Amino acid sequence: MRHIMAKQQQTLLERRYSMLGLFLIAPTVLVFCAVIVYPLISAVYLSLFKIFTPTLEGSWVGLDNYRVLLSKGEFWTSLRANLIWTVGTLSLQIIFGVGMALVLHQNIWFRSLARSLILFPYFISTVVAVLVWKWLFNDLYGILNHLMITAGLIDWPIDYLGSMPNAMISVILVGAWKYFPFVVIAVLARLQSIPDQLYEAAKIDGAGPIARFFDITLPQLREVLVVIIMLRAIWDFKEFDLIFLLTGGGPVTSTQTLPLLVYKEAFALNQMGMASAYAVIMMLIMLGFMLVYIRRTRSEES
């Protein structure tokens, strides 16, 4: 009882500080409400309407959009494409990323130059990445086909983006190329923080390089890998630019992931309400992952 009473007493100073804190966070809160919270709520609201994009005239249809969407094959094929893309590109990012980090952790020649070169793809615009890769993939003059034919790997130029499963594989590969540097830097930072004594102790205990990798390096990386995988899974799942620019979802709809479907519904088929329903469903699918990630970060902080 006394504690509850005590809690209520706030000094003037404490109150003044709280006011100042609220004043400083006010711009953030205002902007958040205007450009994030309000749109987020409207997205859900819009999904209950049938809206024709050019005129923006709408009529209430309730949950009809959702009913239609879940029974339409296109949603499920897009979800499937989305999962294939996410799992495919994420696995490659992790494998190459960890591998490259281990290589860069060694004392190789011109290490910082190598690190810059590896890091670069992550920071260039997706537009640049796509233009370059389209040029590499070009069926007539592309260097990739030329090199593969010269090396005797193929007899005839490959259509990298216009046929299946090539298109999906190409998209996954370009995605891996663009985003694996994130994994490299994150893992490299962690590797550099593993104390040398651990390796020395293991050496004294008679562990060879392979045993040291599995007994020390990998367990030490586990934590950071979990975080990286969750973060990249979320980001890859919602990727729009790369796929849209490389294939536009084609051939037909074979690489059309959910974000592309939302865009198509809204601006090609002019069904704004339907598109919102797709967006909301997509967010719900991601929500699970996001909540797991958030909970993890928060428990780490406290």
Partner 1 sequence: MADVVLSNVNKVFGTFTAVDGLNLDIRQGEFVSLLGPSGCGKTTTLRMLAGLEFPSGGEIRIGDRMVNDLAPGQRDIAMVFQSYALYPHMSVGQNIAYPLKKRGVAKAERTAMVAKTAEMLQLTPLLNRKPRELSGGQQQRVALGRALVRDPKVFLLDEPLSNLDAKLRGYMRAELIELHQRLGRTMVYVTHDQLEAMTMSDRIAVMESGKLQQFAPPQVVYREPANRFVASFIGTPGMNIVDGELLQENGRWIFQSQGFSVDAPNLGPDAQSGAAAMGIRPEGLSIGTGPIEGVVQLVEQTGHENIVVARVGDGLRMTGRTNPDQPVRAGETIKLSIDANKAHFFAEGATGKRLNKAAATSDGPAKSQSALKEATS
Partner 2 sequence: MARKILFNIFAWMVVLMVAFPLFWMLVTSVKPQFELFRRPPSMLPETVTFEHYWRLLSDTNFLGYFWNSVILSTATTFVVVTIATIGAYSLVRFRYRGRETLAFLVLFTYLLPSVVLILPLYLMLVELGLSNTITSLVIAYTTFALPYALWLLRSFMAGIPEDLESAALVDGATRLGAFKDVILPQLLPGIISTALFTFILSWNEYLYALVLVNSDESRPLTTGVMNMLISSFNIEWSLLMAASVMMSVPLIIVFAFLQSYLTRGFGAGGVKG
Binding residues (CB under 8 A) for partner 1: these are 2-3, 5-7, 9-14
Footprint (CB under 8 A) of partner 2, residues 177-206: 177, 182, 185-186, 189-190
- Residue 70's CB: how many other CB atoms inside 10 A? 11
Nearest distance from residue 29's CB to partner 1, in Å?
24
HSE-CB of 14 using CA atoms within 13 angstroms: 5
Q: What is the DSSP letter of 156?
A: S
- Select the residue interacting with partner 2 from 68, 159, 166, 240 (CB under 8 A): 240
| Sign of the dihedral through C-alpha 147, 148, 152, 158 | negative
Q: What track of x and - describes contact with partner 2 for positions 267 through 296 (by CB under 8 A)?
A: x----x--xx--xx-xx--x---x--xx--
Choose from partner 2, partner 1, none: what does 163 bind? Cβ within 5-8 Å by kind.
none
> Considering only 23-31, 59-67, 72-80, 82-90, which stretch makes contact with partner 2 by CB under 8 A?
23-31
The answer to whether residue 25 forms part of the interface with partner 2 (CB under 8 A) is yes
Choose from partner 1, partner 2, none: what does 3 bind? Cβ within 5-8 Å by kind.
partner 1
> Considering only 78-86, 152-160, 195-203, 257-265, which stretch makes contact with partner 2 by CB under 8 A?
257-265
Choose from partner 2, partner 1, none: what does 125 bind? Cβ within 5-8 Å by kind.
partner 2
Exposure string for 20-45, b = 16+ CB within 10 A, e = fewer: eeeeeeeeeeeeeeeeeeeeeeeeee
CA distances from 246 to 118, 178, 283, 295, 299 (A): 22, 13, 24, 35, 39
In what helix (H) or strand (E) does residue 279 lie, and over which residues does it extend? helix 272-301
